[in-house]
Amino acid sequence: MDKVIEVKDVKTVFGTRVVHDGLNLCVNRGEIYGLLGPSGCGKTTLLREIVMLQEFHGGSIKILGDELNGISHSKAQKLRREWGVLFQAGALFSSLTIAQNIALPLVEYSDLSQKMINEIVEFKINLVGLKSADANLYPSQISGGMKKKSGLARALAMDPKLLFLDEPTSGLDPISARDFDSLILKLRDLLGLTIVMVSHDLQSIYDTLDRIAIIDNKKIAFEGTLDEVASAKSEFIQTFFSDLK
């Protein structure tokens, strides 16, 4: 299996606080990979480093074969079109409607006609389980769950190979959360996505993830499948999972 993301010996320091020290992990093509760990262990920070929002202070991160250290502007731009990111609260552009939000990457990066773009937007809106009637609402007029779905639709607008989700089910009611999980599984099968997500939702972890990495004490405490976790000897991992339960 080829590796989509390779993180090697990454070190992160905030002021005097060391967040990661010698962190390693790799994500294979086509899998749903989860970053887990106690609050404040730096899951979201790692995710932000992978999507080039934050600098790391040592080691290397390789995405789709490109090394992020000293990456050129054009390569970085190319990389950014190959992934989609869903932020915790959706991060929709508040001055644009949902449809305009989803259309934005298409308008900016492609030379498609407005008609074609509208069709793509309609497809994505329905794909993530929103109604076409909601398309012309502004982000301030819709619920948290709808914001997440719209954010996902926007992340999928350019048909990315890689999808990053930051706590996709947090703040959703259990039914919407399960819907979201099945949506993610469906998307992976339909579009052949590789998905990396940060999650605290145990049900969602068991339902969707192929492999997980548990971050603790600045390092990866465990990396592997969920079945392997059950047999892992480490006391921390066992308490972490029993805590989650």
Partner 1 sequence: MNNYALSISFIDNKLLLKFSGELSLYSITTLQKQLNTQNILKIKDIQIDLEEVCFIDTATAIFINNLLIKYEKLDIKVSVNLNSKDIKDTLELVKNQKLHSDKLPSPDKESFLYSVGKYIYIYYISLLSFLNFLGNLFTTKIYYLKSIKNIRFKEIAFEINESGVKALPIISLTSFLIGLVVAYQSSYQLKIYGANIFLVDMLGISILRELAPLITAIVIAGRSGSAFTAQIGAMKITEELDAMRTMGFDPYIFLVMPRILALMLVMPILIFVADMMGVLGGMLVASLDLQITPTLFIDRFNEVVAPKHFFIGILKGPFFAFLIATIGIYRGLMVKNDTQSIGFNTTKSVVESIFAVIICDAIFSIVFTNLGI
Binding site for partner 1 (CB under 8 A): 48, 51-53, 76-77, 80-81, 83, 85, 87-89, 91-94, 104-105, 108-109, 151, 164
Give the nearest distance from C-beta 196 to partner 1 in angstroms.
13
Give the nearest distance from C-beta 72 to partner 1 in angstroms.
13
User: Between 23 and 92, whose beta carbon lies closer to partner 1?
Assistant: 92
User: Between 95 and 231, whose beta carbon lies closer to partner 1?
Assistant: 95
Cα–Cα distance for residue pair 3/125, rounded to 1 Å: 30
Give the nearest distance from C-beta 228 to partner 1 in angstroms.
31
User: Between 82 and 179, whose beta carbon lies closer to partner 1?
Assistant: 82
* Residue of 235, 232, 216 whose CA lies nearest to 224: 232
Give the nearest distance from C-beta 94 to partner 1 in angstroms.
7
CA angle 104–109–111, rounded 5-degree value: 100
User: Between 87 and 180, whose beta carbon lies closer to partner 1?
Assistant: 87
